[in-house]
Chain A
Amino acid sequence: MSKKPTAKEATSPAANDHAQAPVNARLTPEERIELFRKMMRIRRFEERSLRAYQAKKIGGFLHLYIGQEAVAVGCCSLMGPNDHVITAYRDHGHAIAVGMDTKALMAELYGKATGCSKGKGGSMHYFDPSRNYWGGHGIVGGQIPLGAGLAYALKYKGLKGAAMAFMGDGAVNQGAVHEAYNLASLWNLPVVFVIENNGYSMGTSQARSSAGELAQRAAGYDMQWGQCSGHDVYEVRAMMDKFLTLARETGKPSTVEIDTYRYRGHSVADPDNTYRSKQEIEEYRRTRDPIQLFQDKLLAEGVLTAATAEQIDTEARAEADVAADFSEASPFPTPADIQTDVYWEADNPSERRSQGRLFFT
């Protein structure tokens, strides 16, 4: 069964309208180029990590963000100092979007001590609290209550900010997501639940896994909701600006479903030949690639030249290669590192107050 188009996708207005949204109209040329650059950097990072995986430099799973770049970049480009992000295991795009160093991200995939989680988390578990990025979580939907908790803390501290809690379309069927929806709405927590709907929860299409419209479920919890295309970074920004502003100004939560598409399988372990057609993937690549579409827009706006676009691409490829070289040259953690970063107290022995044995053999 092929990907089910959302109602929004079917009736999408002229793409240029979203460029006129105030949040986009006020972007400087440099800021527009930066959005383009971030998407390109994500794409090239992901392609490079796939090659490293194929060369057996990377263990475990690898869930690539290729095709979905406009979602993370659009959303995270709106973050202020008190806005926070949490997501699931397809987490590389958000990490680059919030500004994490691709060397540390690639090194994490290589399982190196220089990785963003010291080689202890892997692909699914990127974190950088200094950039308000709280993971990187492996269990479908399990991060969503935590996202509501980040919003709870903002509210408790009286800070004007919002949490964005990202999930895939498969997560909407998990109980923890619904519990978080209810609590967020009941308590007016400033959180935007973002459903990145790429049409497939692993190999099961939306039509085969979810009854009804996904975002609309928010209405059952008395939350506002919206749908938009994730192929147009301007549209993502316009939609998210509305709901982030709602959260920051009124404390009200919302749910936004962003229609997107992944070109690669669920993970690299997915042969990707059982549940969708090659033609479908090619059609998306040809007509709705978020980077190509945005490049065309910026060329039309006169913000970008073909030469600059080419240069940004070249730089993004070079950056990914540098990240891979850095990872290659970095040391692995040692067996002695296995038992650090388990307990705060064990890592801060001078401040330890408890006694007794923390670890066992």
Chain B
Amino acid sequence: MPVITYREAVRHALAEELERDPNVVVMGEEVAQFNGAYKVTEGLLARFGPQRIVDTPISEAGFIGVGIGASMLGIRPVMELMFWSFYSVAFDQILNNAANVRYMSGGQIHCPIVIRGPANGGTNVGATHSHTPENVLANHPGVKVVVPSTPADAKGLLKSAIRDNDPVFFLENTMLYGEKGEVPAGEHVVPLGLADVKRPGTDLTIVTYGRSVLHSLAAAEVLEREHKVSAEVLDLRTIRPLDIDSVLRSVAKTHRVLIVEEQKPFASVGSQLAYMIQREAFDELDGPVHRLATVDAPAIYSPPVEVEQLPNPRRVLQAALETLA
């Protein structure tokens, strides 16, 4: 199986879906001539032309709104946000219009739009560029939220997202764009809403997603080697719809849960998970549900300190040991 980067995997998904469906359009800042701010869309303009690969001005509310309007008439736009952090200037379009238009029209309209781009900290760009809004997005019924951690998942989930008839918000990670992994060539589709056991284990369930999966896997190695603890790492992959059944299955096996998320803790994805686990698997738990989140403050710039604000293997290991104590 070919080994490619996360960036290439996203690009392959885009190219294959552009090839498959003439209504798919890729639109965003610097996606065409510049070849993508993070080079995700590199080469697509040359291959598909300016009708399909469209550069926009820096005008997120405007172009996201145009994409939503076009999707109501049957276009399937895949919009790139250079950073998901910029969703705040298009909030009304994304979460009033895309999320609500089906409901407010009594089901007459659907909005098959994908909005994708990186949402992560760890790149020393300060608080304005480091938002991870998956909890905010997933708080809105009507939308779907995907946060892939591996190249194979990035490709397979993006293909599902583009074929989906509901608005799908696809959160990538600049720190993962260069990560490599095996990715099936050609048709490789991962359904939304299906979690994946990235490492099986018996003593502890680490529920996580996005880049925190990598940190959790690194911590699980140390747990195994130095602490004789078998940790299961469960990658949610999709936040909404949520594969809670896989979470509960894992909890029933290990009876201990640590949630790891690159999220501010207040009303986070982990908050929702912890509620659901205690509500639906209370008798399976041998201890309280633990959570490791981002340290609760705006994203700090200082490079060595930002590493300590975010989940990292050392912090995951420590949290895991506390969960087992």
| Chain A contact residues, CB within 8 Å of chain B | 84, 86, 115-121, 125, 127-130, 134-139, 142-154, 156-157, 175-176, 179-180, 182-183, 186, 339-345, 347-348, 353-360
Contacts and interface: CB of A to CB of B under 8 A. Distances in A.
In this complex, the member of A130, A151, A342 whose beta carbon has the largest number of chain B beta carbons within 10 angstroms is A342
Contacts of A341: 102-103, 105-107
Contacts of A340: 107
A162 B102 CA distance: 23
B64 A145 contact: yes
B104 A135 contact: yes
Contacts of B324: none
A118 B108 CA distance: 10
A120 B69 CA distance: 20
Contact of A357 (B25, B67, B104, B244): B244
B68 A129 contact: no
B177 interface: no
B93 to A, nearest CB: 6
Interface in B262-307: 272, 276
Contacts of B33: none
A347 B240 contact: no
Contact of A356 (B68, B164, B166, B193): B193
Looking at A156, A341, A354, which has the most chain B CB atoms within 10 Å of its CB?
A354
Nearest to A136: B104
B229 interface: no
B102 A344 contact: yes
B278 to A, nearest CB: 13
Interface in B54-72: 56-57, 59, 61-72
Given A153-B70, A354-B144, A145 B61 contact: yes
Nearest to B165: A344
Contacts of A117: 104-106, 108
B105 A153 contact: no
Contacts of A179: 59, 61-63, 65
Interface in B180-209: 191-195
A interface: dominant SS: mixed
Interface string B224-255: 00000000000000101111110000000000
B296 to A, nearest CB: 24
B110 interface: yes
Contacts of A156: 25, 51, 70, 75
Contacts of B240: 358
B163 A146 contact: no
Nearest to A355: B193
Nearest to A141: B92
B73 interface: yes
B65 to A, nearest CB: 2
A149 B67 contact: yes
Which of A86, A145, A151, A345: most chain B CB closer than 10 A?
Answer: A145
Contact of A176 (B62, B141, B165, B195): B62
B128 interface: no
Pairs of residues from A and B, 9 with the lowest C-beta to C-beta distance, nearest first: A149-B69, A145-B65, A179-B62, A356-B193, A341-B107, A356-B241, A118-B106, A146-B69, A153-B73
Nearest to A179: B62
A353 B106 contact: no
A356 B97 contact: no
A175 B245 CA distance: 44
B92 A118 contact: no
Nearest to B69: A149
Given A145-B65, A179-B61, A354-B238, 15 more contacts: A117-B105, A118-B106, A127-B101, A127-B105, A145-B93, A156-B51, A342-B141, A345-B164, A353-B160, A354-B192, A355-B194, A356-B195, A356-B238, A359-B141, A360-B242
Contacts of A138: 96
Interface string B67-109: 1111111110000000000000000110011000111111111
Most chain B beta carbons < 10 A, residue from A129, A144, A357: A357
A226 B242 CA distance: 51
B142 interface: yes
Nearest to B62: A179
B70 A356 contact: no
Given A142-B96, A355-B194, A115 B69 contact: no
Nearest to A132: B73
